Structure 1
Amino acid sequence: MDLDWSAQDLEFRDEVRTFFKDHLTDDIRAAGRLMTSVYADHEASMEWQAILHAKGWAAPAWPVEYGGCGWTVLQRYIFTRERVAAGAPPVSPMGIQMCGPAIIGHGTQAQKDYFLPRMLSGEHFWCQGYSEPESGSDLASLQMEALHDGDDLICTGTKIWTTHADVANWIFCLVRTTKSDKPQKGITFVLIDMTTPGISVRPIVSPSGEHIQNQVFFDQVRVPKANIVGQIDQGWTVAKYLLEFERGGVAYAPELQERLSRIEAYVREHPRGDAFEAKLAACRARLQVLEVLEFRVMSGHGDARLNAAGPSAMKVLGTEISQHITELALEAASSWGRSYQPDATRPGGHIHLPYASGLIGPELGAVAGAHYLNDRAGSIYAGSNEIQRGIIAKAALGL
């Protein structure tokens, strides 16, 4: 595998770098730099998406005919690396990176024509209705009921840990349309307007004090069958297709390298001793391993086992290294990392706990504590890392 950039790659990199320099405002950069989870400040993220959409760069991985860029996998990687280096926040992944590919891969032409342009523009902001109180990592055990009523489904049940349901106007859901001997059978993938009568949202405040997660209740919500993606009772196929994008559809390494670099820059001015320097070096080495894995998976040149297990391996390594980096940030910040000052950061949701106003100590310390708490979920969401290791064992090792 050739890791050298070609002249065309470098030309593309310079084009992207110039665009970021010309269009990123100080406020949007701050929102990217001061993120405390995988979700950026909502207002800043939407503003940035509008800028990208005007350029035609909102959905780099989509086919050109649906508003994508027509970029190669390597160009998308370069774009991600330059975005992180420039301090730009990501756009919300729920629509463009997850629901969008599901509609492109399994939706009708009418669904593509209606939903995809509104997803790109930000007119439709999406959330994901997968997990239920008794169905998390064992997603196939979900029980939210959808009864047939002519051209509609009548949906009743609840979804939990629903990110940004408080600001979303659409949700993609897995519902049970048929009870079967096998839990994966009888599940349907459906798109639901959040303004439909019978839907209510209850906030879940995280330990960091942020309101990002929610529980959503559906009380006999009427949904047109025209909003079913794929076939009735065959939603598990769509769900698995979507999860490939959630687990390994984007590269982890560029963002993690930037976060580690910030810690390294901090300890150059505030030394923490040789032992801590060794921890940083070990983490940098693990990141290089992850980056090479991502290159191999994205290039598509690996063997069949790597291609099958790659997204799961990326998810395991990416989330566990991310959690480790939050621990290193706390150690580097020392006592400053114990302060609770969310007003000095740009979290992905509103703060619901009382806090003192104003930055106390270094910026690293303000972000470290909240990011540590938020990142505990990284090894659980998108299928827990224990589940991913099972997939790797089966796909790569034949166990």
Structure 2
Amino acid sequence: MSEKKLQSIRGIHDGLPAEVARWQRVEQAARRVFGCYAFSEVRMPVLEPTELFVRSIGEATDIVSKEMYAFTDQGGDQICLRPEGTAGAVRAWLQGGLTRSGTQRWYYIGPMFRRERPQKGRLRQFQQIGVEMFSAAGPIEDAEVLAMAHAFLSELGIPGLNIEINSLGCGACRPGYREKLTSYLQQRAGKLCETCNERIVRNPMRVLDCKVQSCQQELTDAPEMVAHLCDGCDDHFTGVQKGLDALAIPYRVNPRIVRGLDYYNRTAFEIVTDKLGSQGTVLAGGRYDGLVQELGGPATPAIGFAAGLERLAMLLDDVPLATPDVAVVVLGEEALGYSLAQADVMRKAGLSVVHCGGGSAKRQFKVADRELVRFVVAVGEDEMQAGVVTLKEMQNGQQQRLPVSEVVTVIKGQLL
């Protein structure tokens, strides 16, 4: 097989040990913080019915029309690789019969798939951490979800983060705003990019999110949703801000925040950084009160957010790879079985152990050096006959002979 054929698919890459160590740090922080807010982990399938996303995300969205990996399987079913997690979470919540189970707080970690143009921190297969809260009706829930997102990123120690919030209105006030925005955009259509012209008809609010500089110049005086909210949405948005103020969480209102998916309403938010260039959003979400009903369930208020694991990992300081605690060196073939048994004893006691495989002592100690272990347990025929091992501390060269029953205690005591 040629080298070219062995290359991975463009936009899909392997998670090698150094990168996985960063992912694990993000995952551990998520589980720790989300658990403090009484959220529970769920695991959903990668394959979903295509119709689920057509109904929830919207057939005219870029995700469904351009980016989703959808196909017909051997049985004739229309299925896809999930492009996002919220719709699948709603499906799971409905199928699980949880509509009368009170507030459900979920989070999930796993791969998503979108055939978009690969760029810094954006891949066609990417890892995502998502949060969903069902039966969350008021602004207090919104503020707490935002507080949890802020606590999660603070736990990771990511610098230079800014929280931006907006209100997208609701079914009562958004149609009137959409009409005003559409009229404004149509008057400037000739100066907007091709993508924005397509969006004027399909989803005019997405034009506000365009990153093309010439388009942004034309949008300077565009009408803003926050100035056209109904009384209910205005009160809700004010309540969110009061909650964040009470928690001393800094934020700013950004009227240009929109969501690329049709099911969002009222509160929308992003947490951005200047460390990733123009595509600096590291966490985004909002309220989606109509999605459950759109998918056949009862009217249910809900809110959630998602964060790209790879993008978060890029912002972390170096995470040292875990190294083994002990290397076992065997001196002579006669003691090989004995050395394997000692390695097994130490592993069962919770130590990380690498066996150097036998052969010359020089080669085995080179292996131990390469593994960066702190201790070497050396065994030969003499040690085997006496029921002991020779324990060497690699940093200072000190060594001692110990009974097998004591070696684990000594090693653990010095690792603390």
TM-score, scaled to structure 1: 0.24
Higher normalized strand content (fraction of residues): 2
TM-score, scaled to structure 2: 0.23
Structure possessing the higher radius of gyration over alpha carbons: 2
